[in-house]
Structures are given as structure tokens and as C-alpha cells.
Chains A and B, each alone.
Chain A
Amino acid sequence: MIHRGLRALSLCFLLHAYMGDSWKCAILPDWLQNLRLYLSMTCALKITNLHKTYKNGFVALRGIDLYVEQGDFFALLGPNGAGKSTAIGIITSLINKSDGRVSVYGYDIDTHFAEAKSCIGVLPQEFNFNVWEPIEEILVNQAGYYGIERRDAYRRAEHRLRQLGLWEKRHEIASNLSGGMKRRMMIARALMHNPKLLILDEPTAGVDIENRRTMWNFLTQLNRQGATIILTTHYLEEVENLCRNVAIIDEGRVIEHTGTKALINRLGSETFVLDLEKKVTEPPCLDCHAVRVIDGSTLEVDIDKGVGISDLFDNLNHMGIKVLSMRNKTNRLEQLFMQLVDDRRQP
């Protein structure tokens, strides 16, 4: 019995070594394959030991591991050239990986590429559409590439264009649209096949504040409806407002992979800017707080984590200093991001 079990195990090992995952599809019964798929379904994206070295020798990814749960709003952060776009390029099949595995909703991108790709909608960083085509046609064609009938594609295009405020522009060629409209059109295009996983590579880059907020609301709504969203951005307030989990990539490695709140809680101290009613000449003496005078009627106060800010206001009140308003000096996540990246780069 043991002998037989060992033989079966070694056969599995050999098959795995030579054929990767494909042998399981050939040998396992349907119900077992479905069970296996169901168990891996809780994970929208799983990246294991992903490596990428370009032909010129540049190493973009040095074995990253990532896990994004279904329904998550996930941020992928990192400085320019950290490897974010390379990772997205590999997930979406625009870049060939050097090593590692990627699975989307349980589908391996190598062995089940069509199923994996059907789950993904992507908004790339740069404009990648035919600028001479009318935008409705761009959307309808995109649906066609996913096997959606033309009549149905026109209905979906109308729905998405109305949702994103572009319906009136449907006959315009794409080059006539403003930068913000082009971004919205690309979001509409990414959603034509109702993907379960939406990957947005800097969706709000170059978009004005009003449009950015509209886009945030739209994305939040999509996420509430069940779509998993992966977002890369350089606007960290966007991450703080939208994302539940975050990973930071630097020099091709994941240096942080945690919840957004947990990450922010790690911040040792915060700097607040206080606008005062009357000018002060010297910084008021406050226990536990470092205070700096900026321009007489503005103070900068460092407050350590765990220290209540109500004491600060009481003390200032006693000194006859009235505070008109208060704000964070920098975005909290931005502060942390810089700390993490700087710590890593210091020798």
C-alpha cells in the first residue's frame, strides 16, 4: 500500500516537473478540477516568484509575490521604474515573463490564457487606441475581441459611454477628445466585457480635480458591485481614500504588502499645520510636541502617535492662542512611502 502510494507520488512529481500544471487537467476528474478551481477562486490575483529581465539585461522584477483577494481595492505603489508597469504588463500578457507564475481567478496565464484574459480589464498608463477611430467603434471592437456579438456590444457601449459622460461624443474620433475624456473612454473600453479584475495603471494621471473625483466615485461604485480593482498611482491620497490593501514595489522587489490602515498606523508621528487667529513671535512651549513658527500666524506641530491632540488645543487655549484651522502637512501615506523607500536605499 505504502509502496503504491509512493509510486503514485513520484509519478505526480515527475509529471509536475515536466509538464507544470497541465497534467492535472489531463488526469484529474472534472469534479476534482472544479474543486481545485473553487478553492483558488477566493484569490483574484496570485503572483508567485515573478522575475523579469529585459533583453538589454535590465532586471525589472526580482521574484515578487503578490496576493489580491476577490473584491479588494488594491494599490500597487512604487517609485518610477520600480517594476509596477512591468508586473501589470506580465499579468495582461503584454510583456513576456522570465520566470514565475501568475494566476487570475485560479486560471494560470500560461495554461489557461483565454480564461485568465477574459477575467481582466486593463487601463494602461499610455493612450493605446486608434486615434482616427470614432470612440463608439473603439468600444464595440474591443467587445468583439472578447467574443461579444456586435448588437450586444453596441448596447454595452451605450451603457458605458452614458455612465462615463461620453455618449454625446460617441461619433467623435478619439483624437478630438480631451485628455480626461480619453482616460474615461479607456475605462469604458476596459469594462466592455464586464471584467472581474480591473487593472488601472495611473488612471488619474493628467486628469483635472473634478474629473478625478468623478472617477473615484465611479471606481468605488464598481468595487462595491463586486469588481476587484488594482490601482497604481502617484497620488497617495487616492490610495488612502480608495484602497483597502497596498503593496509597495521598489527596485523589483515587494518591500511592503499589507492593509492600508495597518500601514498608516505604523507612522510614528504626524506633522500638522495650524493657522492662528493672531500672530505669535516665538513658538509656544508645549510638552511632548515639537513646535515651529512658520510665518507668525502659522505653526507646525509634530505630534507623536498615541498622543491625543485635544491636550494640544487645551494648552494653546491657556496661552491665549486661538486656532482657526488645522491640516496635515503632507499626506500620511506619502510620508510613510518616502520613509520606506528611503530606509531601503540607505546603505
Chain B
Amino acid sequence: MNISEQWIAFKTIVIKEFLRFIRIWKQTVLPPMITTGLYFIIFGNLIGERIGEMEGYRYVDFIAPGLILMTVITQSYANTVASFFQAKFQRHIEELMVSPTPDYIIIFGYAGGGITRGIIVGLAVTTVSMFFAQLGIHDLAVLVSIVVLTATLFSLAGIINGVYAKTFDDISIIPTFILTPLTYLGGIFYSISLLPEFWQNVSLANPILYMINAFRYGFIGITDIGLWVSYGIILAFIAVLYGYAMYLVKTGHGIRS
């Protein structure tokens, strides 16, 4: 396959993924919008007014970037894990396996689908946020790059989960028991400077903390962690996850007998 044919194969997978989640928008786009709206009403308006300011910003404005990025994380992950597992379960992954599409294009394509869903649902949630919070843009380049990189990272993680998953339960274990706790403890609702030193250090082991802080910097210009450290951590995770996903697909783990 030459480069232009590979590009067509990549586009095909992304379009197929886009149509898949848009076809079921009531399950994929609408629920996160409602959930985020509820977060804003409860934590932003009802409780947030009693909390006052956080790092010099209204509480609702402080939590808005985290809530948006949380949606990007869960949606990009959910898209690839569900889609890859479904493709294995219904065996239509074979359509790709018998074709000359290289393994890395399969990974890029699925990740592209996850990134697309993460960004589209992220934009939908941002629209909801605007009804509650005053969102200004401090650094557009940081905002865009962090969203894309974060969505990439979790799309790749979703592919790996999808490769290993054997039952529908297996695709919900990691989001429920690992992703959600790490996201909530990643500084969406608070600044880690409020924590005792020990817990501040523990929090630094949470990769999501770096993403949320960098993303918050893009909106309001404050962060607990250096921007380049965040980029470094995210890129390192992407490299490791991509390498591992490639290894799994190349060896046919869970796909080929």
C-alpha cells in the first residue's frame, strides 16, 4: 500500500468510527452534556457559591476546564474500547485484518475515531459550560494541543483495553475503578496546593493531574505544575501506550489465533 492508499484507509476507519458514534448520539453525546450540566448546577452554583474563590477565581470558573477535560478523557477512552471490543465480538475486525491496511494505520484510525469523539463531545460540553461559567481563553495553542494529546493518550489506552477485553464487563472495569478515581483526584475540583505535602506528592503520581492543570492553564492561566513537565509526561505516556498497542496488534493478541 502506498502512502495515499494508507491515507484513504485511515480516513475510512475514522469516518466509520465517526458515523458509528453519531448514529447513537443519544447514548454518546447527550448524556455527558446532561451530566456536566448537573455538575455545574450542584458543584458550581449550589455548593460553589459557599466555597467562594479558588486560586483567585470563582469556583465554577475554576472547575469548568477540569469538567470539560474529564469528558474528553472518558469519551475518547469509551469510544475506542467499546468499538474495538465490539469489532472483536462481532468479528468485523476481520474486515481490517484480511485487508492490506498496515497495523499502525489500524491503530491510528481507531485512535482518530476516539480523538474525534473526545473533541466533539468536549465541544458540546464546553457549550453547556458557557451557560454557567465565564470561559476566557488564555492560550489557545495550549488548549488545543492538550485536548488532542489527552484524547490521543486515552484513545490508545482504550484500544489496549479493547484488545484484552473478553466480556462486556472487561470494558467497564478500568473506566470505573481506575479512570474515574484518577480523574476525580486529578485536581478537577481543587488545587493540589490545598492538600498536605504528603498528599501533594502522592497526587504528582497521577498523570491526569498534569493534563487537567495544563488544560486549566489554557483557559485561565494558572497551573500547579510546569507546562513542559505536563507535555513531557503526556508525550511519554503516548509513546509507551502506542508501542504497546502496536505490539498487541502486530502479534494478533486476542485477534488472531
Q: List B contacts of A140 (CB < 8 A).
A: 12
Give the docked Cα–Cα distance between A54 and B96 (Å): 22
Asked whether A96 and B257 contact (CB < 8 A) given A144-B9, A144-B11, the answer is yes
Q: List A contacts of B12 (CB < 8 A).
A: 140-141, 144-145, 150
Contact B100 A95 (CB under 8 A): no
Is A200 interfacial (CB-CB < 8 Å)?
no
Q: List B contacts of A149 (CB < 8 A).
A: 8
Q: List A contacts of B50 (CB < 8 A).
A: none
Q: List A contacts of B53 (CB < 8 A).
A: none
Contact B90 A129 (CB under 8 A): yes
A42-66 residues at the B interface, CB under 8 angstroms: 54-55
Contact A128 B94 (CB under 8 A): yes
Contact A94 B98 (CB under 8 A): yes
Instruction: Report the count of interface residues on B (CB-CB < 8 A).
Output: 32
Per-residue interface assignment for chain B, residues 18 to 32, with 1 indicating a CB less than 8 Å from any chain A CB and 0 otherwise: 011001000000000
Contact B94 A124 (CB under 8 A): yes
A131-172 residues at the B interface, CB under 8 angstroms: 131-133, 137-138, 140-142, 144-150
Give the docked Cα–Cα distance between A128 and B97 (Å): 12
Q: Least Cβ distance of A120 to chain B in Å? A: 7
Contact B16 A141 (CB under 8 A): yes
Asked whether A148 and B257 contact (CB < 8 A) given A117-B98, A126-B91, the answer is no
Q: List A contacts of B45 (CB < 8 A).
A: none
Q: List A contacts of B87 (CB < 8 A).
A: 130
Is A214 interfacial (CB-CB < 8 Å)?
no
Per-residue interface assignment for chain B, residues 62 to 92, with 1 indicating a CB less than 8 Å from any chain A CB and 0 otherwise: 0000000000000000000000001100111
Give the docked Cα–Cα distance between A145 and B11 (Å): 9
Q: Least Cβ distance of A84 to chain B in Å? A: 15
Give the docked Cα–Cα distance between A145 and B2 (Å): 12
Contact A117 B100 (CB under 8 A): yes
Is B102 interfacial (CB-CB < 8 Å)?
yes
Is A284 interfacial (CB-CB < 8 Å)?
no
Per-residue interface assignment for chain A, residues 81 to 125, with 1 indicating a CB less than 8 Å from any chain B CB and 0 otherwise: 000000001001111100000000000000001110110101010
Q: List A contacts of B8 (CB < 8 A).
A: 144, 147-150
Q: List A contacts of B102 (CB < 8 A).
A: 114
Give the docked Cα–Cα distance between A138 and B97 (Å): 15
Is B95 interfacial (CB-CB < 8 Å)?
yes
Q: List A contacts of B23 (CB < 8 A).
A: 132
Is B202 interfacial (CB-CB < 8 Å)?
no
Give the docked Cα–Cα distance between A92 and B99 (Å): 9
Q: List B contacts of A131 (CB < 8 A).
A: 90
Is B191 interfacial (CB-CB < 8 Å)?
no
Q: List B contacts of A115 (CB < 8 A).
A: 100
Contact A145 B95 (CB under 8 A): yes
Give the docked Cα–Cα distance between A146 and B102 (Å): 10
Give the docked Cα–Cα distance between A126 and B94 (Å): 11
Give the docked Cα–Cα distance between A95 and B101 (Å): 16
Contact B19 A137 (CB under 8 A): yes
Q: Least Cβ distance of A182 to chain B in Å? A: 13
Contact B99 A117 (CB under 8 A): yes
Q: Least Cβ distance of A51 to chain B in Å? A: 14
Q: Least Cβ distance of A200 to chain B in Å? A: 13
Contact pick for B100, options A89, A137, A146, CB 8 Å: A146
Contact B97 A94 (CB under 8 A): yes
Contact B97 A142 (CB under 8 A): no
Q: Least Cβ distance of A187 to chain B in Å? A: 14
Per-residue interface assignment for chain B, residues 93 to 124, with 1 indicating a CB less than 8 Å from any chain A CB and 0 otherwise: 01111111110000000000000000000000
B11 closest partner in A (C-beta):
A144
Q: List A contacts of B6 (CB < 8 A).
A: 147
Contact pick for B98, options A92, A137, A147, CB 8 Å: A92
Give the docked Cα–Cα distance between A126 and B90 (Å): 10
Contact B92 A95 (CB under 8 A): no
Q: List B contacts of A96 (CB < 8 A).
A: 252, 256-257
Is B4 interfacial (CB-CB < 8 Å)?
yes
Q: Least Cβ distance of B190 to chain A in Å? A: 41
Is B5 interfacial (CB-CB < 8 Å)?
yes
Contact B100 A130 (CB under 8 A): no
Contact B16 A113 (CB under 8 A): no
Q: List A contacts of B256 (CB < 8 A).
A: 93-96
Give the docked Cα–Cα distance between A124 and B94 (Å): 9
Q: List B contacts of A138 (CB < 8 A).
A: 95
Give the docked Cα–Cα distance between A148 and B11 (Å): 11
Give the docked Cα–Cα distance between A252 and B119 (Å): 51
A129 closest partner in B (C-beta):
B92
B255 closest partner in A (C-beta):
A94
The 16 listed contacts between A and B (C-beta, < 8 Å) are A54-B257, A93-B98, A96-B252, A96-B257, A117-B100, A122-B98, A124-B91, A126-B91, A128-B95, A129-B95, A132-B23, A133-B16, A146-B101, A147-B5, A147-B8, A150-B11
Interface on A for B, CB 8 Å cutoff?
54-55, 89, 92-96, 113-115, 117-118, 120, 122, 124, 126-133, 137-138, 140-142, 144-150, 189
The 7 A-B residue pairs with the shortest CB-CB distance, nearest first, are A147-B5, A144-B12, A145-B99, A114-B100, A128-B91, A117-B100, A128-B94
